[in-house]
Amino acid sequence: MHTLDQVTDKIDPSNPDTIPKFVDELPIPSVARPSKVIRGKSYYEIDMRQVQHKFHKFMPSTTIWGYNGLQPGPTIKVKRNETIYVKWKNQLPAKHLLPIDRTLHGSAGPHDVRTVVHVHGANVDWESDGYPEAWFTKNFAATGPNFLRKVYEYTNRQMGATLWYHDHAIGITRLNVYAGLAGFYLIQDPVEKRLKLPSSRYDIPIMIQDRSFNADGSLFYPENTDPPAPVNPSVQPFFNGNTIAVNGKLWPRLKVEPRKYRFRILNASNTNGYTLRLGDGRTFYQIATDGGLIEKPVELDTLPLFPAERSEIIVDFSKHKGKKIILQNTNEEGNLGVIMRFDVVLPLSQKDTSRIPATLVPEQPLEEKMADKTRLLTLNGTQDEYGRPLLLLDHRMWHDPVTEKPEIGTTEIWKFINETTFPHPMHIHLIQFKVLHRRPFDLERFQQDGYIQYTGPPIEPEVYERGWKDTVRADDGMVTSVIMKFTENPGLYVWHCHILEHEDYDMMRPMTVVKKRK
């Protein structure tokens, strides 16, 4: 037996090999409570604070930023079609926790700690979408050029879904989210009642984030690239942490009953993608994608999740009493190959009457032939004046004039032509789309004369992405096609890569949704 002192003496937070796994219980994020009700509608105030957070029982506390001082932030739970108001308040210190690259767009000014909150996946009026330049500093003392309102309105006119909120401030999103500014936003749909899915304490959100620490337990985020760029601090082309935090604890465990559970899994990492698998290879059932329930459950043994993607699954532990089942990431070996552990050690507290229904929601087709317009959009790389990689969308920078102006009432296909050498998770604000297909093309030919010479047939979307999506993996060497209908909420939004290091430099573009022309 080791005493606590003996264990903590051996732990070096900068060396993940010294951090024991499955020590902490998986925390379940608390649910946000409205501070008042205005004309029958809930009004929340959620502030961003710098606090001390315990990532691991045996590690020293870590200074983080959290919504209401929590990591993850409090879960906002709303009903479909229920309007709520949220006043997001910046109560953070004037100095940033992490190194700011002053050369990035919007980062040169005197205000280090700029924040703005985006609910990812929400059908929301543009003034409440959290435009990257609608930022505000502590007590709204300074505001960005696009700042319009302090109180955001969310009408939640969309299917029940696992959404999430996170910071979106121009040029420092990667730092603000890494510091801890992320939480769940769950829309509950009355149609789910009759489905008898596992609910209440058997319905658990799981936020996966990679993190690295300094020896003193503080958050580590690199100040420069390797080899170093001529500017310091410098943005990274990507970031990979060396530990896995789930709901704010490193490699936690969850004690479960021998019954069915619903897990709402979110990859809230800056860059890392994961392919989830249960340690014994047992299958599970996917029931929802980013935008809500799918037509019918899909049996899976692995589930890839790129940054910002969500997937809801049902795992049945009923035949595995006493077992300890590791949730793995098959993309990696070693520490990053382990996410958390389920310990089937709790007694069954009541008969499990939940179900995995044969069908979930009616089919909602959105087919290629329904499109009014197709946009060809490239993902491409170049170099900046310091010789650093600069990733762009359609060869344009963030501040170039708006080129994507979809019209309300129209259905559009966007074809992401990936000219880079790696996949990017592409996210479009405001709408949910369907993935049509991916199709290989001749990159050399395209770069010579701009002609898309396909080199193979279209590849159907993966079985786990055949539902409403707001983020899609745009593979290298492929043209990835998505289809969406713009139905309401004209205004100024964005679309971008959700690798946060890319989004900040400079893989993000504005999008103006325009009213129907008469």
Tell me how far CA of residue 226 lies from CA of 222, 223, 229, 238, 452, in angstroms: 9, 10, 8, 11, 35
Q: Which stretch binds Cu ion (CB under 5 A): 81-89, 429-437, 463-471, 502-510?
A: 502-510
Spell out where 54-173 has E strands.
62-67, 73-79, 84-90, 117-120, 151-154, 161-167
Residue 174 near Cu ion by CB under 5 A:
no
Closer residue to Cu ion (CB): 76 or 104 = 104
Distance CA 308, CA 163 (A): 9
CB of 391 to Cu ion, least distance (A): 6
Interaction residues for Cu ion, span 29-58 (CB under 5 A): none
Closer residue to Cu ion (CB): 337 or 477 = 477
CB of 416 to Cu ion, least distance (A): 11
The conformation of residue 4, written as its DSSP 8-state character, comes to H
CB of 363 to Cu ion, least distance (A): 32
Q: Which stretch binds Cu ion (CB under 5 A): 21-29, 36-44, 155-163, 499-507?
A: 499-507
Closer residue to Cu ion (CB): 259 or 424 = 424
Tell me how far CA of residue 228 lies from CA of 155, 223, 270, 416, 483, in angstroms: 46, 9, 20, 31, 41
Count of CB atoms situated within 10 Å of the CB of 328:
22
Closer residue to Cu ion (CB): 438 or 502 = 502
Q: Which stretch binds Cu ion (CB under 5 A): 56-64, 69-77, 85-93, 498-506?
A: 498-506
Among positions 48, 499, 508, 513, the unique one binding Cu ion when judged by CB under 5 A: 499
CB of 497 to Cu ion, least distance (A): 3
Distance CA 313, CA 263 (A): 5
CB of 502 to Cu ion, least distance (A): 3
Residue 497 near Cu ion by CB under 5 A:
yes
According to DSSP, the residues that pair with 37 across neighbouring strands are: 42
Residue 496 near Cu ion by CB under 5 A:
no
Closer residue to Cu ion (CB): 34 or 222 = 222
CB of 472 to Cu ion, least distance (A): 12
CB of 308 to Cu ion, least distance (A): 11
Spell out where 389-458 has E strands.
389-393, 411-418, 424-428, 434-440
Distance CA 90, CA 326 (A): 38
Q: Which stretch binds Cu ion (CB under 5 A): 116-124, 157-165, 222-230, 489-497?
A: 489-497
User: Which residue matches tokens 């259905």?
Assistant: 411
Residues near 130 by beta carbon (within 8 Å), at least 6 away in sequence: 116, 117, 118, 119, 152, 168
Q: Which stretch binds Cu ion (CB under 5 A): 139-147, 161-169, 248-256, 500-508?
A: 500-508
Residue 424 near Cu ion by CB under 5 A:
yes
Interaction residues for Cu ion, span 1-20 (CB under 5 A): none
Among positions 502, 505, 506, 510, the unique one binding Cu ion when judged by CB under 5 A: 502
Q: Which stretch binds Cu ion (CB under 5 A): 37-45, 141-149, 322-330, 494-502?
A: 494-502
CB of 474 to Cu ion, least distance (A): 8
Element (H, E) at 183: strand 182-188
Which tokens hold the place of 317? Answer: 């532990």
CB of 511 to Cu ion, least distance (A): 17
Q: Which stretch binds Cu ion (CB under 5 A): 152-160, 276-284, 419-427, 453-461?
A: 419-427
Closer residue to Cu ion (CB): 270 or 286 = 270
User: Which residue matches tokens 């809930």?
Assistant: 42
Counting residues that bind Cu ion (by CB under 5 A) gives 4
Number of residues assigned to the chain: 518
Element (H, E) at 149: none
The answer to whether 435 and 465 are in contact (CB under 8 A) is: yes
Strands 243-246 and 182-188, by their bridges, are unpaired
Closer residue to Cu ion (CB): 82 or 419 = 419
Phi/psi at 126 (nearest 5 deg)?
-60, -30
Closer residue to Cu ion (CB): 492 or 497 = 497
Q: What is the DSSP string of 24-37?
A: SBPPPPPBP--SEE
CB of 425 to Cu ion, least distance (A): 7
Nearest to 511 by CA among 382, 408, 390, 381: 408
Q: Which stretch binds Cu ion (CB under 5 A): 106-114, 260-268, 422-430, 474-482?
A: 422-430
Nearest to 32 by CA among 90, 93, 84, 80: 84
CB of 101 to Cu ion, least distance (A): 17
Residues that bind Cu ion (CB under 5 A): 424, 497, 499, 502
